[in-house]
Structure 1
Amino acid sequence: MSAISEFDYVVVGAGSAGCLLANRLSANPDNRVLLIEAGDPDTYPWIHIPVGYLYCIGNARTDWMYQTEPAKGLNGRTLIYPRGKALGGCTSINGMIYMRGQARDYDNWAKLTGEDAWNWENCLKDFKAHEDHYRLDNGADPKRADGSNFSDLHGHGGEWRIEKQRLSWEVLDSFADAAEQTGIEKTDDFNAGDNSGVGYFDVNQRKGWRWNASKAFLNSIKSRPNLTIWTRSTVDSLTFAQSKDGKAICSGARINKDGSKIEIRTTIEVILSAGAINSPKILQLSGIGPADLLKSKGIDIVLDAPAVGENLQDHLQIRAIYKVSNTRTLNTLTNSLVGKVKIGLEYMFKRSGPMSMSPSQLGAFTRSDADKEHANLEYHIQPLSLEAFGEDLHDFPAITVSVCNLNPTSRGHVRIKSADPSEPPEIAPNYLDTDEDRKIAADSLRQVRDIMGQNAMQHHEPIEYKPGIQYQSDEELAKLAGDIASTIFHPVGTVKMGKEDDPTAVLDPHLRVKGIGGLRVVDASIMPEITSGNTSSPIIMIAEKASRWILAGQ
């Protein structure tokens, strides 16, 4: 083990949070910043072509290739659990959907932590700080329906580019009309604090190319002499020293860089931004976690922290499939060589068409029943269908109507299986583990049937392919949901923040590890409860807020 020179800040993980942190912390030339990424530089071509997620997920070049444990709620099935492994992290392989969630999410975080900085009004400032929204291009500032300016809620000139999708589909437009017929109003902005409605998602793209966190926050600053970026580097464990009062202080980390073992030291902080799976894994490998777990793996205990790795939450999408007629879908467009060539040429010359697609184009947010005060369901509607991710599209025209419970009550965990850093952890989301989650799953499938039965869809003659109209009872539909559901890749909560006296919280409201000096966590794992929507942009907001605290020594 060889030691090298010190850094002031060490950021572990170059994903949604880590890229922004590296940018903000190195803006002061006096700060020596090291950014560590386990994967490669983001030079793989499929990272940058939007439809390339099909070739990045399940590819060891860009994906950690994790899997979940068999789940009772999924009738014993395991799921692939993609996590980005390249500069940009999950923003290099995700669905590119720009979504903040709901104002109530952040107001609830403020209550759970006792920190007003987490309320919606204050988080909105952090969202806007790095936004570059297309509707504010060329000095435009359109009026909203309530008379306010668009710029009251969105930013322009920041690094995180948000654009309108570059395609539409007749069958998806019909679905939006059908949803409206059930009472779901159309919307052109899911990000105003209440995302109820149906419409096309805005996406993190620039002129038809994926816009990941590496492009946004690193490309323009890589030449800063005070910023060092290491790729192909993993953290085996953190290192610790003791202060005069006996408190453990994180002093650095042991790194495996291209097979070489290196020890680094920090003068101020180590910041874990490795995500909801790898951040708790690193903490546990370093002796911070449940004492019984650590002892069983032969790891010396630095801090008995039972909550590390617990509280795992994720959005489970239930993938209903409908055969359709009298319209085009991606299934039919790709069933011939001529169709595939046309798709390729359209992207080559126009940067539009199916190759510019995010995995889901049309979205909807609504309530599973009238008793809900807020939208608790999110739809991702796609003009395609397949049996499972990675398999060929069906040879018949169809659409997939995926629906997920935004506020699941099921909780899972992430736990190391051994002291070997190279071994994947045990990932158990425990989907559909509660009666409430199973009831919402059944209700959501009934709601899908209601929308597909509206007049606006009848020209397409929809026929339910999955789960099958013969299944009607709550019990049948909940079981079928377990058969056809899959993760939508939103794990959060495994190193959650909370009040100082909250025994289930690993972090204080400023994201510092309680009981340890010089160590902070800034990523999806800090969420006490999952946001009501896609999680990528909320993570960037978290990093924006945390960067100010870190620079202020708070």
Structure 2
Amino acid sequence: MVPGGKPGGNNLTGLLWTYMSEPTSGLNGRSVMVPRGHVLGGSSSINGMVYTRGSSDDYDKWAELSGDRRWSWKALWPYILRHERWGPPVGGRNATGEYDPKVHGYSGKVSTSLPWDGPVEHDLRTVKNAELQKEFPITLDVNAGRPMGVSWMQSTIGNGERSSASTAYLTPEVRERPNLTILVNTYITRVLPVRTTGHVPDIRTVEVAPRTGGETRTLTASRELILTAGVIGTPQIFLNSGIGNKTELSALAIPCVLDIPDVGMGLTEHTAANLAWTITPRPTNPIAQDVAWAMWTANRTGPYSAAFTHQMLWARLPVNSQALKDFGDPSAGPRSPHLEMPLDSARSAYLVLLTPYSRGSVKIRSKDPFDGLVIDLNVFSHPFDIAAIKEGIRLAKRFYSGAAWDGYISSFNGPDPDSLSEAEFRTRVTQNALTFYHPVGTAKMSPKNAKHGVVDPELRLKGASGLRIIDSSVFPHIPTAHTQAPVYILAERGVDFIRDSWH
């Protein structure tokens, strides 16, 4: 697939689950799309291709919350490297000094790389800014476990093409395997127990139907089911199957197979405020669209071979932050940034809150598997989140007020917490805020014997046998990262859990 889109734009019709959220006060009463990939490769086939793992503290927090050190950064390191196939920028430019070769894998399935073209004016001013403002240093590699500062953006792009879970793992050779059958346009309606032994259901049967509805059929695994339906699909399937809050299931006339109240709860999402600056007009020499397309079709270079920006800023709130004093620190630790800001032309920017306190949920409307969902994002419901955005905007203003930006930026257009009342600021933020399409945590991992959570540290459904979940729904804490790399890490770790169980 073309990383930078196609002339005239990408038509994603048919490639998305068209989920919509409930109206929420945190988005000024708006209902927003919750896009998930309805295509082989899932959301890795339709996302922004940003490759960030998060901080070492994020995974140490997973280990803490799961009660299992096998989820720590150190223990996961082999799996962090296992899935990655790092390569040079397409076109072969010298990217020395933009990454750390010691922290990458070179023989995995998923291709990763830096942008095809070298630094532009904004990038060079950012580097100069790092020399003048010590608050915003250049960090050699965002994926070394401590991403604070400005880093060069890494993407799941190889040889000028998108690298997705489908292109990486479902290669033509793999698709020819006699023990693999891929069913498309097929909808999982329920998972079912084949038997129950001592109140423990053995859930190894999946019920499927055509995507447009129709007669169902069942398929039963000889050993175990691996469910990878994602942060929305996994709780939907469980609830339709009678796995969830017993009281809520009863209200929908769904017999309860397993009473697990945390199914569908704890949805966590990165949310962004939309900022804008006025920049001084300057001469540009963009590559014409037809020339750019010719470059990509000829040798996979040019603007169409790249994602949307070159650099990203990762930052923690100041140590004297009032938000941290008032509400505590929701981050996993001092290596985890609270904020992210993709750096582009500075005309506009998204300030992303990576460590929200707010939590939402996914529920079903009825016992009909084809009925719509109740997706409550519930963003900005906790006062820390708006307070952190406020302090983050002040940080962004400091970033673009350095001498390196003289003659480039003329004014900040807001929303400005220093010129608006509390009510005005909240309204401005929530009117234009957007989610960053990183929802996680609706079937969380927890210690094996804990009464809370949905899966144990080996990703097996609690209270049952025969079923494992390997997707972002099991994340016990949202990572300070774009979530596709953490999913690959989770999946590689899960593979060995499965292998160790049966060999």
Q: TM-score w.r.t. structure 2 length?
A: 0.88
Aligned partner of residue 174 in structure 2, secondary structure: coil
Q: What is the one-letter code of the residue matched to 1:218? A: L
Could you say which residue in structure 2 is the equivalent of 1:456? 404
Which of 444, 450, 456 is the equivalent residue of 1:496? 444
Q: 1:136 to 1:257 in 2, by over 3 A?
A: same
Shift of the alpha carbon at 1:54? 9.4
Q: Does 1:84 align with 2:32?
A: no
Aligned partner of residue 69 in structure 1, secondary structure: coil
Q: Does 1:307 align with 2:262?
A: yes
Aligned partner of residue 272 in structure 2, secondary structure: strand
Q: Does 1:170 align with 2:125?
A: no
Q: Does 1:435 align with 2:383?
A: yes
Could you say which residue in structure 2 is the equivalent of 1:212? 164
Q: What is the one-letter code of the residue matched to 2:244? A: G
Could you say which residue in structure 1 is the equivalent of 2:338? 376
Shift of the alpha carbon at 1:118? 0.2
Q: Does 1:93 align with 2:46?
A: yes
Could you say which residue in structure 2 is the equivalent of 1:261? 216
Could you say which residue in structure 2 is the equivalent of 1:426? 374
Q: 1:120 to 1:474 in 2, by over 3 A?
A: farther
Once the two structures are superposed, the pairs formed by residues 8-19 of structure 1 within 5 Å of their partners are none
Q: What is the one-letter code of the residue matched to 1:436? A: F
Q: 1:470 to 1:149 in 2, by over 3 A?
A: closer
Shift of the alpha carbon at 1:449? 1.5
Which of 185, 188, 200 is the equivalent residue of 2:152? 200
Once the two structures are superposed, the pairs formed by residues 316-395 of structure 1 within 5 Å of their partners are 316-327=271-282, 339-371=288-320, 373-374=334-335, 375-383=337-345
CA–CA separation in structure 2 for the residues paired with 1:502 and 1:429: 26
Could you say which residue in structure 1 is the equivalent of 2:111? 161
Could you say which residue in structure 2 is the equivalent of 1:284? 239
CA–CA separation in structure 2 for the residues paired with 1:270 and 1:299: 22
Contact in 2 for aligned 1:50/1:210 (Cα 8 Å): no
Contact in 2 for aligned 1:53/1:95 (Cα 8 Å): no
Greater mean deviation of Cα atoms: 499-508 or 267-276: 499-508
Query: How many residues get paired?
Result: 480
Shift of the alpha carbon at 1:429? 1.6
CA–CA separation in structure 1 for the residues paired with 2:8 and 2:465: 41
Deviation per CA, 1:349-388: give whole Å up to 9, x if none: 45344323323432111112134734211112234xxxxx
Q: What is the one-letter code of the residue matched to 1:72? A: S
Q: 1:198 to 1:93 in 2, by over 3 A?
A: same
Structure 2, gaps ≥5 residues long: 325-333
Shift of the alpha carbon at 1:498? 0.5
Q: 1:64 to 1:56 in 2, by over 3 A?
A: farther
Contact in 2 for aligned 1:317/1:403 (Cα 8 Å): yes
CA–CA separation in structure 1 for the residues paired with 2:280 and 2:299: 28
Could you say which residue in structure 2 is the equivalent of 1:38? none
Q: Does 1:105 align with 2:58?
A: yes
Contact in 2 for aligned 1:48/1:211 (Cα 8 Å): no
Deviation per CA, 1:84-136: give whole Å up to 9, x if none: 11011111111111110000011111111111110001111101112111269
Contact in 1 for aligned 2:265/2:360 (Cα 8 Å): yes
Deviation per CA, 1:495-553: give whole Å up to 9, x if none: 00001343331111111111111111110011111001111011011010111111221
CA–CA separation in structure 2 for the residues paired with 1:291 and 1:365: 42
Aligned partner of residue 520 in structure 1, secondary structure: strand
Q: 1:261 to 1:344 in 2, by over 3 A?
A: same
Greater mean deviation of Cα atoms: 176-185 or 304-313: 176-185
Q: What is the one-letter code of the residue matched to 1:205? A: I
Q: 1:361 to 1:282 in 2, by over 3 A?
A: farther
